[in-house]
Chain A
């Protein structure tokens, strides 16, 4: 799916990323976790081709820089951490942006249907005629989630979505809902790379975990492999206990 070897990224002599290897298979849900300033968002930016890195990133057997911009937007999408606060448009127009790669002047009926379905899914359909700027933080997040997911609604197989802290500002129910949407997406041999803060949610939903610290990979593998008491307390510099989740049997991390 996507392969990157030895990514390094510097900002003013300061190593933000230092020799990170990432590779992802079809249908995989990769969660990137780690303390603040570990380079999670930077890694996502490099992988999503937002900042140019000298290292080669191969997306679907083709160098990422060789992709045509519009074509690439049908294969991958990104949910950014900092969404603009000043968009004087109605909610449905913001979601419709996700369909921009697919129509020229006016949206077709199928584009409208697709956005409506996605808005129902994230429960923002009742807000569709409201102005985006008047929404709360969590509602805005859900609008953008709809926009990003509707962008990848097409016939192409093996798509990839990047999400940078999609759960910010969401209440518990919508956190689960959002992760279920992402999980369902990966079930059709699509892949997702998601930056998450909640380790227990990562353990429950992700197939693979990439634990980062100070711009390096601290641990990589399945949740069971990565979420050990040593790995976590080492990376976060904070004591923790790991036990088994009584219902899902995933590792459960209890801090303190």
Chain B
């Protein structure tokens, strides 16, 4: 299904290849056809294909991070946005852009490039540790505390980011606005390679953890009795989800609610069995973001809608739906 969607997404777009199908163009590109126009080549490979791949990678990682966080906090409301992970990442990325701008001439390009990514990761990690410390004691998560500390971190992040926007120069301002909206328009193959590396590392560690996350539902002590090293599991989840969210934020800004929508849909089908929903969220996340991105760039063509608007539009009502369902059990 993902493959079909990717093909469809390749078809849809503003640019007109003079009546030739995008596949013919892609085929020509892969074969290295010398007759291929440079602009055709650019659009099919560097714009459209790289963007599709990025949607697949980012969507997948956001969804998996959401599912894993929900496993850790034992709650379907825990996602990067709700608990302030995304804000933490955005905040430090914004600081890196603005302050980094002042040192720009002294730093080599590679360092500049990774500076934003690393800051976003550190920001996500700090937010995550703070929320976990505040909301969890003796292995039990207080949901209200979790969500409220997320609100607090988000508002801190919001005000500082606002301040940064206020003091920033024009060029930085453009970058900052981009973080807040979330967009895949900045896709390049270099970013895709970095994302792929992060994805492979993260998934090798996280995807086999389905059983462990199921066992965590029994409580941490009982999970330990089932032979699960709970302390190590928690550390792995904290670091890896921060890494994934941080990287996604660094490259595509804040694309909200993917980590909420995807597990929600999967839970309707598989209950909370993480053995199934963890690997499936990797696939469904890609599907969702690819559809959303294809919509966002074709619905108001030739302009485009920030993708964050679309995902939040679906995510908001689902968040409320979970809240209502949750009200009964509280």
CB pair A87–B272 under 8 Å, yes or no, is yes
CA A101 to CA B224, docked complex, whole Å: 11
Contacts of A72 in B (CB 8 A): 227
- Any B CB within 8 A of the CB of A27: no
Interface size class of A (residues with CB under 8 A): 20 to 34
CB pair B214–A97 under 8 Å, yes or no, is yes
0 or 1 for each of B263-296: is its CB under 8 Å from A? (1 = yes): 0000100011101000000000000000000000
Known pairs A88-B271, A89-B273, A90-B271; A80 contacts B219 (CB<8 A): yes
Contacts of B208 in A (CB 8 A): 104-105
Contacts of B7 in A (CB 8 A): none
- Any A CB within 8 A of the CB of B211: yes
- Min CB distance, A202 to chain B, in Å? 23
Interface size class of B (residues with CB under 8 A): 20 to 34
0 or 1 for each of B191-228: is its CB under 8 Å from A? (1 = yes): 00000000000000000100100110111011011111
Residue of A nearest to B271 (CB): A88
Question: Could you count the A-B residue pairs with CB atoms below 8 Å apart for me: how many are there?
Answer: 73
- Any A CB within 8 A of the CB of B229: yes
0 or 1 for each of B222-248: is its CB under 8 Å from A? (1 = yes): 101111110000000000000000000
- Min CB distance, B72 to chain A, in Å? 15
Residue of A nearest to B329 (CB): A86
Contacts of A98 in B (CB 8 A): 226
- Any B CB within 8 A of the CB of A216: no
- Any B CB within 8 A of the CB of A211: no
Most buried by A among B227, B229, B271: B227
Per the 8 Å Cβ criterion, residues 46-74 of B in contact with A are: 74
CA A112 to CA B235, docked complex, whole Å: 31
- Any B CB within 8 A of the CB of A73: yes
Contacts of A78 in B (CB 8 A): 221-222, 225
0 or 1 for each of B251-273: is its CB under 8 Å from A? (1 = yes): 00000000000000001000111
CB pair A74–B227 under 8 Å, yes or no, is yes
Known pairs A97-B214, A105-B208; A77 contacts B272 (CB<8 A): no
CA A73 to CA B222, docked complex, whole Å: 10
CB pair A100–B211 under 8 Å, yes or no, is yes
CA A101 to CA B222, docked complex, whole Å: 13
Residue of A nearest to B215 (CB): A97
CB pair B217–A151 under 8 Å, yes or no, is no
The contact of A100 among B226, B267, B329, by CB within 8 Å, is B226
CA A133 to CA B225, docked complex, whole Å: 22
- Any B CB within 8 A of the CB of A48: yes
Residue of B nearest to A76 (CB): B225
CB pair A87–B227 under 8 Å, yes or no, is no
CA A72 to CA B225, docked complex, whole Å: 8
CB pair B227–A48 under 8 Å, yes or no, is no
- Min CB distance, A102 to chain B, in Å? 9
Q: With A76-B225, A83-B222 given, name 6 new contacts (CB 8 A).
A: A50-B224, A72-B227, A89-B217, A131-B271, A151-B225, A151-B226
Q: What are 14 pairs between A and B in contact, CB < 8 Å?
A: A69-B229, A71-B227, A77-B225, A80-B219, A84-B217, A84-B218, A88-B267, A93-B214, A93-B271, A97-B214, A97-B218, A100-B214, A100-B226, A100-B228
Which residues in A have some Cβ–Cβ distance to B below 8 Å? 45, 48, 50, 69-74, 76-78, 80, 82-84, 86-90, 93, 97-98, 100-101, 104-105, 131, 151
Which residues in B have some Cβ–Cβ distance to A below 8 Å? 74, 208, 211, 214-215, 217-219, 221-222, 224-229, 267, 271-273, 275, 329
